[in-house]
Amino acid sequence: CYNLHCEGFVQTSNKYVLGGSFSSISTPDSTQYEKTLRVFQDDSSKNWWLQIDGESIGYWPASLFQSLQNGAETLEAGGEVCYDKESGVRHTKTGMGSGEFPSQGYLKAAYQRRIQYLDSNGVMQPAIGMKSGAEVPKCYTATSVAADKGDDCGAYFFFADFMTF
- The span from the CA of 37 to the CA of 127, in Å, is 15
Question: Does pLDDT of 77 surpass 50?
Answer: yes
Mean pLDDT of the chain: 80
Give residue 70's pLDDT. Answer: 84
CA distances from 13 to 4, 8, 21, 55, 58 (A): 13, 15, 15, 8, 7
Residues 116-146 have pLDDT tens digits of: 888 888 888 888 777 777 777 776 777 777 7
> Between the CA atoms of 7, 11, 14 and 19, what dihedral angle is there, to the nearest 10 degrees?
-40
Confidence at residue 42, expressed as pLDDT on a 0 to 100 scale = 92
Determine the pLDDT at residue 47: 94
pLDDT band at 91 (very low <50, low <70, confident <90, very high): low
**Coil/strand/helix, residue 91:** coil
- Residue 162 has what pLDDT? 46
Confidence check: pLDDT of 163 > 60: no
Name the 3-class secondary structure at 19. Answer: coil
